[in-house]
Copies of this chain bind each other. A is one copy, B any other.
């Protein structure tokens, strides 16, 4: 579209802590990208849904919150969680209901070692670690069911009910196979814990095998989630696309981020592949109360998430801009303009300005 056309409407939810800093930074970078590209625009609409406001108002999202979000082309999310609100209240008040209500049943988490950054493993150069983790994002261990009986007694019992559906498993497996198929080496590793979890995980296994038949060109293997961590550490180069349950992929994607150097660079796309609802883009990291408000948060994960958002809303037409943003990010990390978690001494503003300048050069 040309700049005179309707802009992409982005719902911004900065949330808590460094979520605010990095959302500001991402908006600055996205505006710069649109300005330099010249053929698209963003209209950012802010939502002040945060833990601070929750304490004052008693709610994270208003009653019609989901309806409001639905009017947008995408959602950009910072982080939620603050020490004075129990985490299960804040997360079930904001991020988890959005993922569920917006039909974002896929969460995509790419990981690689960015140019100029150093990974913590001895035997792992940039070419040895280039993964995409596809996380089931709508059910499983995050179904939210369960409860407590005999509360406040010495014999209290609490349950967590993980729910796996054939529909839910089938669609995430298809997305994972499509993702694997789109990558050079066409390789998918399916993660499970079906040896110990013999109901839901066995269904997971079964449907995986059914779906695999439709993708004869994709090479696949299976791993137990515990052994998978060993493989990620000791044989990173044997992995490419990975699919796992909501909880397993939550854990493995944090591990992946650490192995690539820092949780501060990792992006996350919560997708509704049917495009019936807006998808949501957020860095993997949390609100980091310890460094909040200091202006030192690493904005790279936020920028990478922004690049993925550009790709998504562009439906194939903004690839050039998204690629330019990724190139700009890596030119900056390579030039040594990095925050502390990446071994540098720059702050959020310095990295953001460097990326903006670099966008002017590369686009």
Contact = CB atoms under 8 A, between A and B. Distances in A.
A88 B201 CA distance: 10
A126 to B, nearest CB: 15
Interface string A195-207: 1111111110000
A359 to B, nearest CB: 29
A311 B333 CA distance: 51
Per assembly, the copies of the chain total: 2
Interface string A133-165: 000000001101011101001111111111111
* Residue from A87, A164, A227 having most chain B Cβ neighbours under 10 A: A87
A327 interface: no
Contacts of A148: 199, 203
Contacts of A258: 229-230, 232-234
Nearest to A206: B156
A79 to B, nearest CB: 12
Given A88-B202, A120-B123, A161-B161, 18 more contacts: A91-B195, A96-B196, A141-B196, A146-B198, A146-B199, A148-B203, A153-B166, A154-B166, A155-B165, A156-B166, A159-B199, A159-B200, A160-B162, A162-B162, A193-B250, A226-B251, A230-B255, A230-B257
Nearest to A233: B258
Interface in A169-200: 170, 193-200
B159 A196 contact: no
Question: Looking at chain A, what size class is its interface with the partner chain?
Answer: 35 or more
A34 interface: no
B251 A225 contact: yes
Contacts of A251: 225-226, 229, 248, 251
Nearest to A143: B159
Nearest to A202: B88
A99 to B, nearest CB: 11
Given A159-B161, A229-B229, A146 B200 contact: yes
A247 B193 contact: yes
A301 to B, nearest CB: 13
A259 B233 contact: yes
